[in-house]
Amino acid sequence: MKVVIGLGNPGVRYQFTRHNIGFMAVEYFANVLGIGFKSIKSYHSMIARGTFNHQKILIVQPQTYMNLSGKAVKKITSYYKIPHSDLLVVYDDLSLNLGQMRIRTKGSSGGHNGIESIIQYMGAEDIPRLRLGIGKIPVESGIEQSAYVLSRFKKDEREKLDKIVAFSSDAIKSILINGFDEAMREYNKKIECNSKS
């Protein structure tokens, strides 16, 4: 079984904020597969169950709020005995330009509270992840990081967002079908919406 986890904060207040692009990405992927989410309180999550590439898949949106994402992930992985190699965590990264992504099989949290929580609960850094760029904080803005990640995308960014989320769904499919090495070669150098292709 493969488990794809999108990070974000639950509730309408946070629905279209930069911090929730992980939620958006996995929801789009679930829609592609034609499966819907159900609230599973014992897992502190919204979960969509289905099949992809001839194997069972769980698509997860933790409902613990970002800082406690690891609580939900640990609960699910412990129950289903999921090895770290069968996980994929999808989340926002403000060090990357909007439309850019990075696939990694391990690493530190990079200051992201959601992945930091997962690393702490899982007791390891070998957690495969797909980082989605949400745009760097404009230097002249003076905005705090916490306020920036909880802000909504600007109008011109929203016009690109559907395309970016679809692009991330393609990357998820590539990881699940072709493995991490091939997906990294294909997607880590691409920037959606910043090229003519």
Q: DSSP H helical segments within 37-154, as ranges?
A: 69-80, 113-122, 145-149
Inter-residue contact 3 to 88 (CB < 8 Å): yes
Catalytic residue among 19, 44, 54, 84: 19
Strand pairing report for 45-52 and 55-62: antiparallel
Q: How far apart are CA 61 and CA 73, in angstroms?
A: 9
How many CA atoms, within 13 angstroms, populate the side-chain half-sphere of residue 153? 24
Q: Which two tokens stand for residue 162?
A: 């559907």
- Measured between its terminal Cα atoms, the distance across the chain in Å is 34
70: which residues sit within 8 A by CB, 6+ positions away?
Answer: 117, 118, 119, 120, 121, 122
Q: Is 84 among the catalytic positions?
A: no
Provide the token pair at 195: 């090229």
Interatomic CA distance for residues 31 and 29, integer angstroms: 5
- Residues that are catalytic: 19
